[in-house]
Amino acid sequence: MRAVVVVCVGLGLAGCATRYQEMGPTGGVTAAQITDDLHRISARGNLHTDAGTIQDFVLLKAAETTVAAGRTHFAIVGKQDARGSASQGLYSRSALGATREHFGFGLIGGDRREPGEDLMIRVLPTTLSTEDRAEAIDARQIIANVGGRVKRPEP
């Protein structure tokens, strides 16, 4: 009986996790255009949302933003962990260079914090230079591989 209660509570809490939606009181994801090819992607979760979900949100929104701009590839040019207080600078490489740092949240001072992530992405030109090709992320692959595993709001 106790195992059934634990499973039911766990399933109930999983339903409280932030869904892939526009930013709202329980979190969500948003994109803001900064320049013609630069966008800030922000995702916020609640205490029932894990770091992997937030990473999926920012990557999927970056890919969707790229496709909406009529392009196929983007590069991550900056990242910030947004779980309360900033733990690092938003632009992690000079001149907005790419970063491959891992995403996530964890225990800070023993307290679990609401996860959040901000990415700066550059939507790449249709014809990729050698330099762009080295940092390019294929938006179509992100949509195909990540899009199916995010929870979306019920219609």
pLDDT tens track for 70-93:
999 999 999 877 665 333 333 333
- Burial label for 38, CB within 10 Å (0-12, 13-18, 19+), is middle
Helices (H), 16-116: 51-68
Q: Is there a contact between 140 and 74 (Cβ–Cβ < 8 Å)?
A: no
Cβ contact 61:142 at 8 Å: no
The C-alpha atoms of residue 73 and residue 141 are separated, in whole angstroms, by: 10
Evaluated on CA atoms 50, 52, 53, 59, the torsion sign reads: positive
Burial of residue 105 (number of CB atoms within 10 Å: 0-12, 13-18, 19+): buried
pTM metric for this prediction: 0.70
pLDDT per position as a tens digit, 131-142: 888 899 999 999
Closest by Cα among 122, 73, 67 to 99: 122
Of 25-39, 42-56, 99-113, the least confident = 99-113
Q: What pLDDT, in 10s, does the model give residues 87-121?
A: 333 333 333 333 333 344 344 444 556 789 899 99
Which pLDDT score, from 0 to 100, does residue 89 have? 35
